[in-house]
Amino acid sequence: MTTLPERSRIRLPGISSRAYEHPADRSALVALRKLTGFDVILKNLAGLFNDRALRLMFLASAVRCSPEQFPDLYQAMLDGAYILDLPNVPELYVSQSPLVNAMALGTSKPFIVLNSGIVELMDPEEIRWVIGHELGHVLSGHSVYRTMLFYLIALAQRLALVPFAWIGLKAVIWGLEEWYRKSEMSCDRAGLLATQDVEAARRGLMKLAGGRHLAELSSDEFHKQAQEYDAVPDMRESLLKLLQLQGTTHPFAVVRFAELDRWADEGEYRDILAGHYPRREDDSDASVGDEFKAAGKSYQDSWNRSADPLIGAVRGVANGAMDAGNRLFNRFGGGGRQDDDDSDDDE
């Protein structure tokens, strides 16, 4: 199998995580980043105990990649960090486990762990995509904001003294799970930017669903599965799809495959490789209002593309509610620009 020559990979200096983040993920992160100082405090507190304990555990029980240990994985990590222009290169560990999984851990000093199951499953280009996916979590700071939201949920549980308050809490948890799923789609895109090999990303997602027998897999047939999953025949299956999402933090494999393939085919991916992308130095100027509207449009576009009968039945109501929300936000939020000016003054 041919691999993409290293010289043909395009470095993306100063790239902001906003370039690849799904709009629903990005809007939440931009809003959280406006809470100036909160994330810094959380990083420092987590770094005192949790980060140290996690790193010590993997330092003692896993293999740290280096030029002498798993040198190819180590080089893939260096390449991905170079392409995405990470300020610091995370440590990379391989942990003996048959579970096909990879993790970005830590807040103040993140590091990445690959289970041996995923290392054995993927070829060199596919593992570049996996490592790039985890580097995306690091660059976005997902672990910081996930921890922050878990703390907020824990606080809400302590304050939930009002009868039936668990209903509101459940809605918060559902919202958190939805954000988790969108953050995974964000990092699928980051992985693609790191490897710049669409076929490798496709193969990686198919292998996550069906295992190592690539000769038995077909991207066209996998697309058909995604279309069939979207266009279920009646409302009962639509409701079952919603129920199956409860408690999940990762989108299903066919959904990830279809979403990443669509993003790769559209202009945004090509624009990034051409050098047209938001820069990290401009992150503080990002507008919460603009990102909120972009997230709303993303959901509207997704609903309009979907052939799901339940979405079709409520599409008009949902789009109307989204439009009303945008009008309300514009009326009281100054079109999404005033909120940023106010927060800058508070700083």
The residues spanned by each domain of the chain are 7-230+250-279, 287-347
Q: Is the pLDDT score of 305 beyond 50?
A: yes
* Most confident segment among 49-53, 102-106, 117-121, 294-298: 117-121
pLDDT attached to residue 301? 67
Q: What is the mean pLDDT of the chain?
A: 80
Higher pLDDT, 240 or 232: 240
Residues 319-343, mean pLDDT to the nearest whole number: 47
pLDDT confidence of 51, banded at 50, 70, 90? confident
pLDDT confidence band for 340 (50 / 70 / 90): very low
Low-confidence winner among 126-140, 151-165, 183-197, 240-254 (lowest mean pLDDT): 151-165
Confidence of residue 286 (pLDDT cuts 50, 70, 90): confident
Distance from C-alpha of 44 to C-alpha of 49, rounded to nearest angstrom: 9
Q: Which stretches within the chain are classed as H helix? A: 23-33, 38-48, 50-61, 71-83, 116-121, 124-140, 142-159, 165-195, 198-210, 219-230, 235-245, 253-265, 267-273, 288-305, 309-333, 338-346
- pLDDT over 70, % of the chain: 70
Tokens 């200096």 -> residue: 13
What is the length of the chain? 347
Mean pLDDT of 22-31: 81
Cα distance between residue 290 and residue 281, in whole Å: 18
Range name among 17-31, 84-98, 200-214, 239-253 with the lowest pLDDT average: 239-253
Mean pLDDT for the stretch of residues 73-96: 96
Lowest average pLDDT, out of 10-24, 269-283, 323-337, goes to: 323-337
The predicted pLDDT at position 330 comes to 56
| pTM of the complete model | 0.81
Residue 341 confidence (pLDDT): 38
3-class state of residue 92 by DSSP: strand
- Given pLDDT bands bounded at 50, 70 and 90, which one contains residue 238? confident
How much is the pLDDT for 169? 64
346, two tokens: 């508070």
Comparison of pLDDT for 250 and 166, the residue scoring more: 250
Section 99-115 average pLDDT: 91
Point out the least confidently predicted range of 71-80, 124-133, 154-163: 154-163
Pick the range with the lowest mean pLDDT from 28-37, 159-168, 215-224: 159-168
Q: Reduce the DSSP state of residue 65 to 3 states and report it.
A: coil
pLDDT of residue 176: 77
